[in-house]
Amino acid sequence: KMSEVSEVMTKADIKPKSMHRAKIWSDDVENLYRFQQAGYRDEVEYKQVKQVDEVECWPETGFVKKLQRRDNTFYYYNRQRECEDKDVRKVKVYVY
């Protein structure tokens, strides 16, 4: 999964081909939820905007731990799931 993101990163300012909404919760949906709460489409856009190679994640769960918003304030996330079932369908899943 990480290699895909890295490949995408080499192409400057990549845009997604399509978007659909999440239907069931998964680890990927959880992380997308966190990026979108912080004001980004996904990990790809976050890395482009913030010019970072790595996103800080919880080692136990692999969930995103900390994100910097565009106004430079930080969002900190728990190591447990934060995206509740009622919020799953709000999450946008982008396809590159």
Is residue 63 within 8 A of residue 57, CB to CB? The reply is yes
| Res. 3 pLDDT band, cuts 50 70 90 | very low
pLDDT digits (tens, 9 = 90+) for 14-31: 788 999 999 999 999 999
Task: State the pTM of this model.
Answer: 0.85
| Residue that has been written with the tokens 């430079």 in this structure | 72
Alpha helices per DSSP H over the chain: 2-10, 27-37, 43-50, 85-88
Could you read off the pLDDT of 64-90 as tens digits, one per residue? 999 999 999 999 999 999 999 999 999
CB 64 within 8 A of CB 74: no
Question: Who contacts 95 (Cβ-Cβ below 8 Å, separation ≥6)?
Answer: 16, 17, 18, 19, 20
